[in-house]
Structure 1
Amino acid sequence: MAKGRKKQHEHEHVDESWLIPYADLLTLLLALFIVLFAMSSVDAKKFQTMSQAFNEVFQGGAGVMDYPSTTPSETMNDPKNQSQEGKLSGLGAKDQKELSEMQKKMAEYIEKNSLQNKVETTLSGEGLLLRIRDNVLFNSGVAEVREENRQAAREISRLLEMDIPRNIIISGHSDNIPIKNEQFQSNWELSAMRAVNFMKVILENKKLDPRLFSAKGYGEYQPIASNETAEGRAKNRRVEILILPQGGKENNTPPAKN
């Protein structure tokens, strides 16, 4: 009789441990369907809100939830989104404010010295960018700054005189038409030497610290316009000056000179 009662007692208390993994599975399936629903929408704000909620629930790190849009490729290809995202990402509020004020002062200087057709400024996620078309400084296929344009380069150098030292990167860019002459075998070499030679003229300004400057050549590999048209290729042939924010990855104030 005791054995019978024991068996009956065991039947009354069924093992329910299977409910825990089952509940977890349902939770994951629910999460999957909500994510798929969110990804099917083009409402970036809705997806961003959903992403934050899921990151909090699952305590996850960086991943697909960190995309600011449901269609990253479309966002990257939209110039408006590129510029806006660039301003909002990468720069802190303090950096944005400081660089914005610097940009305003540069705009005033550019207008005062009639440099509007030579220099334009843009605030991006990397820092404050000054863009100069190559025909302002160089003859076609030549890396040396034209003698008659060295004064323009010196005027541009005054834009870089700052109370707070910042690292500055000067980069050369070209279109995609191949170059091959006695001096240069590729657009890469030409763009690099243009950046170096322009930097040399800039650093004739003794108020600038050479230790804060570096030069790069990108050739045709960072176009800002289509190379299918003459107008687009003209925009791609350029020299850029990037002023990095304080505390940026490459921004290390050098020690004082002896």
Structure 2
Amino acid sequence: MSKKGRHEPHEEHPDESWLLPYSDLMTLLLALFITLFAMSSLDASKFQQMAAAMNAAFTGGTGVLDQNAMEETSGQTPKSDDNETPASAASPADNTQKSRESLREKLKQQEQENLEKLKKQLDSYIKNNGLSQQLATKLNQSQLSITISDNTLFASGRATVKPESRILAKSISNILQQFPNYDIIVSGHTDNIPISNSQYESNWNLSSDRALNFMKILLLNNKLDPRKFSAIGYGQYRPVASNSTNLGRAENRRVEVSIIRKYVDEDVNPTLQSMANNGK
């Protein structure tokens, strides 16, 4: 009678089937982290290579290593155009700035054309009415100015506008209403001879009153916006000619009506630049 073999006791193997989904989960997480890392990089070529490698790993396609090997075998390298500018080279902010500068240049050019047209209109009015000795116009980088001699508007040492000069003021106001969005400065100027009467104690006072009174007559035109107007008295301190002669002093006694440009260069008077910017 044969004796049955005796089996040694042994431990049972634990169930390891959970390792399969766990490994799949870890693989997917790794792929996610790789994708996030690739997307955070600013190098588009590296992102494409990473995408190709992942495609090879999950779908059996050609990976980046195989692609490099094929390139080495063929002896061909991708061509690059050094003169080609990437689409991403110009940021949206740069494009916006260029667009603004382009628009500003167009508006500046249009403004120049408008002011030149207005100057011709004023010069024609002055010539046709025989006012060449009393009025003059000047267009520069900051403004278009209409200069009116003081004896055309006022009696000596006075700031009341002559009745016959109101027609001139009305004509100027009709011209100004064509440019309703521009700031207008009315400034008064005198020569350096001290004022000596009971009404005014200095040329400051006289020039200020003359500018203010002439501005008030301009604003009788209800089509003009008073918010765009200001009156300034400069007294004797902004002469345009020498005060050593009678002719020079006569040129310095004047009222100026200035149409301030909106689009001025940075090197123009900062006060006028600020006024133009605030008026936009």
TM-score, normalization: structure 2?
0.54
Counterpart among 142, 151, 154 of residue 126 in structure 1: 142
CA offsets per residue over residues 181-216 of structure 1, 9 Å max, x none? 211110011001100000011111122111110000
Counterpart among 178, 195, 199 of residue 179 in structure 1: 195
- In 1: Cα distance, 2:179 partner to 2:141 partner: 22
Is 1:236 equivalent to 2:252 in the alignment?
A: yes
Measured on the aligned residues, the alpha-carbon RMSD in Å equals: 2.1
Compare CA radii of gyration and give the structure with the larger one.
2
1:224 counterpart residue number: 240
- Amino acid in structure 2 at the alignment position of 1:144: T
2:124 counterpart residue number: 108
Deviation beyond 4 Å, 4+ runs, structure 1: 91-94
1:57 counterpart residue number: none
> Is the partner of 1:250 in helix, strand or coil?
helix
- In 2: Cα distance, 1:190 partner to 1:219 partner: 7
Change (3 A) 1:112 1:158: farther
Task: Give how far 1:163 is off.
Answer: 4.3
Counterpart among 257, 261, 267 of residue 245 in structure 1: 261
Query: Conserved in 2, the CA contact under 8 Å of 1:169 and 1:213?
Result: yes
- Amino acid in structure 1 at the alignment position of 2:244: E
Task: Give how far 1:126 is off.
Answer: 1.7
Task: Give how far 1:94 is off.
Answer: 4.3
- In 1: Cα distance, 2:247 partner to 2:173 partner: 27
1:160 counterpart residue number: 176
Ranges in structure 1 where 5+ consecutive residues have no aligned partner: 1-90
Query: Conserved in 1, the CA contact under 8 Å of 2:187 and 2:234?
Result: yes
Matches within 5 A, 1:188-207: 188-207=204-223
Matches within 5 A, 1:26-45: none
- Amino acid in structure 2 at the alignment position of 1:196: L
Change (3 A) 1:152 1:164: closer
Query: Conserved in 2, the CA contact under 8 Å of 1:156 and 1:202?
Result: yes
**Percent of aligned positions with the same letter in both sequences?**
48
Change (3 A) 1:130 1:197: same
- Amino acid in structure 1 at the alignment position of 2:136: E
Query: Conserved in 2, the CA contact under 8 Å of 1:109 and 1:159?
Result: no
- In 2: Cα distance, 1:163 partner to 1:154 partner: 15
- Amino acid in structure 2 at the alignment position of 1:250: M
- In 1: Cα distance, 2:208 partner to 2:175 partner: 22
CA offsets per residue over residues 64-122 of structure 1, 9 Å max, x none? xxxxxxxxxxxxxxxxxxxxxxxxxxx95444333212211222233344433332100
- In 2: Cα distance, 1:118 partner to 1:146 partner: 14
Counterpart among 142, 149, 167 of residue 151 in structure 1: 167
CA offsets per residue over residues 112-152 of structure 1, 9 Å max, x none? 44433332100122210100000000000001111232222
> Is the partner of 1:170 in helix, strand or coil?
strand
Task: Give how far 1:164 is off.
Answer: 4.8
